[in-house]
């Protein structure tokens, strides 16, 4: 069997080296963080037939997320209108919901969220609010 000429061997080694250099020049894709196991939106629904100014705040309580304020938002909701809070909860724990309608004293409730339980804030009138846990 005849040996390949040294020039061919050197050429093959050179091409391999160039390929390795070219491939290493491209940025490597970094692995992304794993997706959250769940994400719960909070729905605010005006069940009244009158427009209301609604203020909703959500905070972690009892140690959840270091008791931090997660959301504080104002909406003007027409009768029958619904919106989702821009904050999305993605951690199991207890949360304090505070809802004020038309400047009245706030209604509050602590609700536990997990992958199968969310919350709907129902505006029934300027004096009546329900903060209802839901099962998804």
How many domains is the chain built from?
A: 1
Task: Indicate whether 14 pLDDT > 90.
Answer: no
pTM above 0.85, yes or no: no
Distances (CA, A) of 31 to 36, 39, 90, 91: 15, 21, 20, 22
Q: Kindly state whether residue 31 falls inside one of the protein's structural domains.
A: no
Task: Indicate whether 115 pLDDT > 90.
Answer: no
Quote the domain boundaries for residue 79.
42-135
Give the pLDDT confidence of 17-64 residue by residue, as tens digits: 665 665 566 555 544 444 455 566 788 999 999 999 999 999 999 988
Strands (E), 1-136: 42-46, 52-61, 69-77, 82-84, 93-101, 107-113, 117-123, 129-135
Quote the pLDDT of residue 32.
Answer: 47
What does the alpha-carbon distance between residue 56 and residue 92 come to, in Å, rounded to a whole number?
20
- Only one residue has tokens 């719960």, namely 40
Q: Kindly state whether residue 20 falls inside one of the protein's structural domains.
A: no
Q: Kindly state whether residue 101 falls inside one of the protein's structural domains.
A: yes
Q: Kindly state whether residue 65 falls inside one of the protein's structural domains.
A: yes
Q: Kindly state whether residue 29 falls inside one of the protein's structural domains.
A: no
Q: Kindly state whether residue 27 falls inside one of the protein's structural domains.
A: no
Q: Kindly state whether residue 36 falls inside one of the protein's structural domains.
A: no
Per the CB < 8 A criterion, the answer to whether 98 and 56 are in contact is yes
Q: Kindly state whether residue 46 falls inside one of the protein's structural domains.
A: yes
CATH of the domain at 100: 2.60.40.4150
Kindly state the average pLDDT of the residues 105-128: 89
Per the CB < 8 A criterion, the answer to whether 50 and 81 are in contact is no
CA-wise closest residue to 53 among 77, 71, 73, 86: 77
Task: Indicate whether 99 pLDDT > 90.
Answer: yes
Distances (CA, A) of 46 to 36, 73, 109: 30, 15, 18
Give the pLDDT confidence of 69-96 residue by residue, as tens digits: 988 999 999 999 999 887 777 788 899 9
Quote the pLDDT of residue 33.
Answer: 45
């Amino acid at each position: 069997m005849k040996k390949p000429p040294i020039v061919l061997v050197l050429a093959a080694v050179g091409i391999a080296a160039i390929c390795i250099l070219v491939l290493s020049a491209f940025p490597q894709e970094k692995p992304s963080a794993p997706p959250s196991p769940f994400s719960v939106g909070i729905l605010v629904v005006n069940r009244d037939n009158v427009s209301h100014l609604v203020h909703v705040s959500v905070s972690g309580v009892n140690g959840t997320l270091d008791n931090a304020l997660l959301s504080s938002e104002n909406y003007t909701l027409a009768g029958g209108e619904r919106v989702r809070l821009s904050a999305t909860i993605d951690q199991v724990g207890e949360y304090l919901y505070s809802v004020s309608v038309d400047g009245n004293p706030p209604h509050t409730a602590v609700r536990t969220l997990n992958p199968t339980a969310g919350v709907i804030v129902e505006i029934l009138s300027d004096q009546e609010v329900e903060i209802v846990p839901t099962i998804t």
